[in-house]
Amino acid sequence: MKKYVLIPLLTMPLMGLASDTIAEPVKRATFCRFIPERDDDFAWENDHIAFRVYGPALRQGKENSGIDCWLKRVHYPIINKWYGQMKTKSYHKDWGEGLDNYHVGSSAGCGGTGIWLNGKRKPLNTYTQHQVIETTPQRSMFKLSYQSLIDGVTYGEEKTITIELGKRLFDVRSVFFQNGKPAVDLPVCIGITTHDGAAEAFSNQKTGWVAAWESIGGSELGTAASTDPRRIDHIKVVKSEKKDESHIFIITKTDEHGAINYRAGYGWKKAGAITTRKAWADYLNKNTKN
């Protein structure tokens, strides 16, 4: 009589899965939402990239309108999962899907804006209001409102952000205000932090982009912002000994509606696809020109 040994299925390894990656449980999709459980963050993502900005709860802190990168290396949405488990699994550690090890502080982060006054970035404080316009698997769109008193003038910004599936850059339309009225021909900047000069800053004014490439957490990261090259006044690299003040900037002016249009995003080596500085520059040259 033959004897058989039963092996529980859960003890058997899943063939073909790397030990440090997670099997994808759901389909690719874009997503955005307000995060009241984490100091009023607002976060958005698609199948390649994820971001957050800081909200009303942090207006007394060092944070401002800078944009934080959440480095993801899976194609399914992670925002709800990472925030949902943050008390037991910190999103500052890579558990197989990616992590947030990108420092923003008081910098512009990845594509944050500011008023350009006397040759310096004057950022608006954290956002004060948010509105989700659309969130579907193919596209998410939302609006963030900012307001700050700078040198005796009340500046406002209404930033409408759109993220689409499959892209490494999100789209932004920002309308600026001075004392409640659209600010026409207002000098503004779009910034990419160089993390106190640790990142290499480079640009292509012909196609309208600025970028940084840096080592981060045992991998490498490219970040960038772009706009219509015809709208660029100049590109400026700022090196400073003060923490969070070193950037590469696009300096531009608002149009007749008080608006600017631009894109920003990243490519993370650990996620694959964008693995070198050249690959990042090639991607930007093919996907900018706005």
- The answer to whether residue 170 sits within a structural domain is yes
For the chain, 290 residues long, give each residue's pLDDT as a single digit of tens: 444 444 333 333 333 333 344 455 569 999 999 999 999 999 999 999 999 999 999 999 999 999 999 999 999 999 999 999 988 989 999 999 999 999 999 999 999 999 999 999 999 999 999 999 999 999 999 999 999 999 999 999 999 999 999 999 999 999 999 999 999 999 999 999 999 999 999 999 999 999 999 999 999 999 999 999 999 999 999 999 999 999 999 999 999 999 999 999 999 999 999 999 999 999 999 998 65
Number of domains in the chain: 1
- The answer to whether residue 216 sits within a structural domain is yes
Specify the DSSP element, H or E, that contains 139.
Answer: strand 139-150
The range of the structural domain enclosing residue 243 comes to 106-287
- The answer to whether residue 100 sits within a structural domain is no
- The answer to whether residue 64 sits within a structural domain is no
Which pLDDT score is estimated for 209? 98
The DSSP secondary-structure symbol of 67 reads B
Which pLDDT score is estimated for 86? 86
- The answer to whether residue 115 sits within a structural domain is yes
- The answer to whether residue 191 sits within a structural domain is yes
The DSSP secondary-structure symbol of 109 reads B
Which pLDDT score is estimated for 240? 97
Let me know if 13 is exposed, middle or buried by CB neighbors in 10 A (0-12, 13-18, 19+).
exposed
Nearest to 251 by CA among 108, 125, 150, 154: 108
Please, what's the largest Cα pairwise distance for the chain? 93
Predicted TM-score (pTM) of the model is 0.90
Helix, strand or coil, per DSSP, at residue 114: strand
- The answer to whether residue 53 sits within a structural domain is no
pLDDT in tens, 120-139: 999 999 999 999 999 999 99
- The answer to whether residue 19 sits within a structural domain is no
Structure tokens at 81: 């999962």
